[in-house]
Amino acid sequence: MHYGLGIDAGGTYTDAVIIRGSDGAVVDSKKSFTTYPDLQEGIRKVLDSLDPQYLKDVNLVSVSTTLSTNSLLEGTGAPVGLILVGEQTVEKVFPTQHVKWVAGGHDTRGDEEFPLDVDAVRDFALKSKDVVSAYAVSAYFGARNPEHELKVKEIVREMTGMPVVCGHELSLELGAYERAVTAVLNAQLIPITHHFVSSVMKDIKRRGINARMLMLKCDGSVYNIEDALEKPIETIFSGPAASLLGASYLSKIETCAVIDVGGTSTDVSMLQNGVPEISTSGAVVGGWKTRVRAMRMETSATGGDSHIWVADDIVHIGPRRVIPLCVASVQYPDLADKLKRSRTLPRTLMDENYQPTKFFVRTGYEAAGLDEEEKDLLSRIGPEPVSVNELNILLKKNPPTRLLDSLTRKRLIQGIGFTPTDALHVLGIYTQWDVSAAEMGSALLSRYVQKGKYEFCAHVRELVAKKMATGLMSFILPHHPGDMIADLLNRSYPAKFKLEIPVVLLGGPVKAHADELRSMIEADVVVPDFAEVGNAVGALAGKGVKRIEINVMPASIQNPDEDFLVFSPLGRERFHLYADAVDFATRVGKDLVLDYEKRCGILEQDTQITVSRKTISPENWPHPPLETRVIIVGVGNPMMVLKD
């Protein structure tokens, strides 16, 4: 008997499931806290809790994670140096402050337009290597000819030894700015993804499990786990992709909307006839538009562990994740006493960090590149929770929010605070952890909004459900004004949304929000068995899908019948005849698809390949097309290895 092991590492929990190959049944599932900075500890704990009789027969492991998405949403990615080659739009904003423009670049045909300024590249690498952890390179028309990008990569790696990501390695779509953003975000994620992937591989090998290892991508397909180290940007919506596939697998519904409530974020997506909708314009994450093909979804920084805080008599949710008071009280036994001693704060000073229920603890991450103020503040925060009141006494002033935010983004400190999970504990709906700590927190915050603690927690529960409903309807009705959606959800009018497709909920205690959601939207709301580990199930449900697009065009419009250029992931090639160019594009595309499927453990005979062409030509054009896009798609099912 063969089994598949699915692992999903979220911002709060690491989940694992074992699925039997013969009938696809879930035979075991467990949850454990995601541990920072040593992710391997959380992975080890969750796998230790699984039945070893099943584990020994596992021959396929597939993983998904929201760590990449959460890092970009929270702005905690590694610092990156960006090198832009050629004439590009300078007024654009990039997701890094370390940017260098150098001369170089190619034209639309892939011919060198200006020579690469090698000295400028070396100078930037020398000056920035002590303040960044990775580099990104994007060259003007690098998608046509990556020669300059590759040369920069060679120079920087030789001088710094750090990872370097090229724009053409991630997308061959035109759009220098979007490729640059994609490359930067990818570089930011390399350390995080490398840590996660290495942790999984070490633990699996330590157990003597001889299995094919895959990782779910943001379009719902899988790839070899080693490839994830080269292109971690493709995992940015790996967790949401897993939730969509897992929801369909568990509910046995192929057309549905899916709401996945995690610890850090809530994701909304949709499946039609078993196929996710792919965003043609590229994924947007953390406000940055990328060239990454991903499922279309609506993501909000609201989850079970989102920070609930009060300012200006308003209850706010997130965007940061904190350790819930009910959980932290178990992990840190002295926290309850500190909560009891917490004093009332001036309303005029309250912000996300300055709260009577907010505490900070030092993480295990190593500090580097801090200024003197950051060093001083960090020295006052240790492995036990310290409140903002205590920091006020130690510093003889209120701890500056900008410094707390900076240390949090750098993962050097972790916040503890009141969360929706605490609210559910107070309401008696979900009571796995310390209810008394949650009740003390709600009592402290509720007085600032003139509510009782139960009324306050009911309000928090309603806010979470409303955010779920808003995300769902914004996804379903992308072209409708947000004010209109809000008015209907706030019951400002005698009208109500009605959905004709089921809504499947995934995540921890999502049953607690099902009735609230039904009260706001008329829909068949489904909470399937194993909903709490749906993402881990989805990690195993992904197909091996590879799509290759290769462009063919005349080298010169003046001579459109001979001399053709082929732009593929391998670079630029030139052919005398159009037919030879198209044949080459098709052959290269098939080879790349089959190589991809092979790395996923899928045999050639089990891979379905389709080839199509899209051409562009003026009306009554008597010559070969001005542009031919050869599209090669391969599909295979990794779960086939589980069949006896």
Is a pLDDT exceeding 60 seen at residue 454?
Answer: yes
pLDDT score at 170: 67
Confidence class for position 45, pLDDT limits 50, 70, 90: very high
Most confident of 222-236, 257-271, 414-428: 414-428
Residue 174 pLDDT > 70: no
**Cα separation, 114 vs 224, whole angstroms:** 38
For 17-31, letters b (16+ CB in 10 Å) and e give: bbbbbeeeebebbbb
Place of tokens 């250029």: 565
pLDDT in tens, 1-34: 788 899 988 777 889 999 988 888 899 999 888 8
Does 159 score more than 60 pLDDT?
yes
Whether the predicted pLDDT of 90 surpasses 60:
no
Q: What is the pLDDT of residue 367?
A: 81
Both tokens assigned to 501: 């497709």
Who's near 367: CB < 8 A, 6+ residues apart? 375, 378, 410, 412
Kindly report which listed range (218-232, 261-275, 335-349) carries the lowest average pLDDT score. 218-232
Predicted confidence (pLDDT) per residue in 524-573, tens digit: 999 999 988 888 998 888 777 788 889 899 988 888 898 999 988 887 89
Instruction: Supply the DSSP symbol for 366.
Output: P
pTM equals: 0.73
Name every residue whose Cβ is closer than 8 Å to that of residue 339 and which is 6 or more positions away in sequence: 325, 329, 357, 437, 440, 441, 444
| The pLDDT value given to residue 70 | 63
Domain boundaries, the chain: 56-236, 544-642
Residues 563-620 pLDDT 10s:
999 988 887 899 999 999 999 999 999 999 998 888 887 888 888 899 999 999 988 8
Residue 103 has pLDDT above 70, yes or no: yes
Top pLDDT among 482 and 291 is at 482
Question: Would the pLDDT of 73 be above 60?
Answer: no
430 pLDDT higher than 60: yes
pLDDT in the model for residue 50: 93
Calpha distance 266→592 (Å, rounded): 35
